Amino acid sequence: MAVSDSGAAGPGRTRPGDVDYMRRALTLARAAEAAGEVPVGALVVAADGRIVGEGWNQPIAAHDPTAHAEILALRAAGRASGSYRLGGATLYVTLEPCPMCLAAMVHARVARLVFGAWDPRQGAAGSAFDLTRSRSLNHAVDAFGGVLADECGALLKQFFARRRAPADD
């Protein structure tokens, strides 16, 4: 298990089950990959351990710039829970969330964020930004990155390598 405690994503610790939930997020990411979308998968787990929402990246197919894996998982979780507040929930995602998705988690009062690969360019859990503990926001998300980071990152690297390769390669 590849777990990194580097970076600003902080006081959080892994918990039993984190790796299993991240494996499920990887399966969802592969659904995005199969559809030609950037392979990112996410799920929301309620405080009692039930998966209440799942999603994978699909902005191209949905013609929707907000159709990131995390947003779709949060929407599904809100519908399943009958509430836009998901207090006590943990969001698992294969890639460090962008600012939009992290802000959505703050709106939803998600308690924990567990992510796989770091995103040095857009990541908002300590890489490019840190919205997990912003004093300007009224909720802190306990974030932990690096869970199955190698597998999550490899999926993305392979996807972009294939996209760069010539068609006859």
Q: Minimum distance between the CB of residue 100 and Zn ion, rounded to whole angstroms?
A: 5
Among residues 120, 122, 119, 126, the alpha carbon closest in space to that of 143 is found at 126
Is 151 part of the annotated catalytic residue set? no
Q: Assess contact for 42 and 95: CB atoms under 8 A.
A: no
Q: Does 101 bind Zn ion (CB under 5 A)?
A: yes
Q: Which is nearer to Zn ion, 75 or 167 (CB)?
A: 75
Site string for Zn ion, 66-85 (x = CB under 5 A): --x-----------------
From residue 40, give the alpha-carbon distance in Å to each of 28, 119, 166.
7, 12, 24
Binding segment (CB under 5 A) for Zn ion, from list 12-20, 27-35, 60-68, 141-149: 60-68
Sorted by sequence, the CB contacts under 8 Å of residue 102 that are 6+ apart come out as: 113, 124, 125, 129, 131, 132, 141
Q: Does 95 bind Zn ion (CB under 5 A)?
A: no
Q: Does 38 bind Zn ion (CB under 5 A)?
A: no
